[in-house]
């Protein structure tokens, strides 16, 4: 489903050395969308802690978690 969302980029998982390995977009209401690990999604790692507006589409997995596939984004 295509969406436009605003939220804050933040970490959700780290490796043993403390490096961030997974990020998400945290939106109003404490809902989170895991950001896909493709080239566009990886660009958002450098904006950890920043507010962004994202256009893309979401996909829900069998555990009811959402992944956000970023098509474009804008820093707010």
Ordered structural domains, the chain, with CATH: 2-75 (2.40.50.140)
Q: How far is CA 6 from the centre of its chain?
A: 10
Enumerate residues 6+ apart whose C-beta is below 8 A from 40. 69, 70, 71, 72, 73
Residue 27 pLDDT = 94
Token code pair at residue 66 = 């959402």
Token code pair at residue 62 = 């069998």
pLDDT digits (tens, 9 = 90+) for 16-74: 999 999 999 999 877 899 999 999 999 999 999 999 999 999 998 888 889 999 999 99
């Amino acid at each position: 489903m295509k969406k436009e969302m605003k939220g804050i980029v933040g970490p959700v998982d780290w490796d043993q050395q403390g490096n961030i390995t997974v990020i998400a977009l945290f939106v109003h209401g404490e809902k989170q969308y895991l950001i896909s690990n493709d080239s566009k999604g990886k660009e958002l790692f450098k904006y950890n802690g920043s507010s962004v507006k994202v256009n893309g589409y979401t996909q829900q997995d069998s555990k009811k978690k959402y992944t956000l596939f970023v098509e474009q984004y804008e820093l707010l």
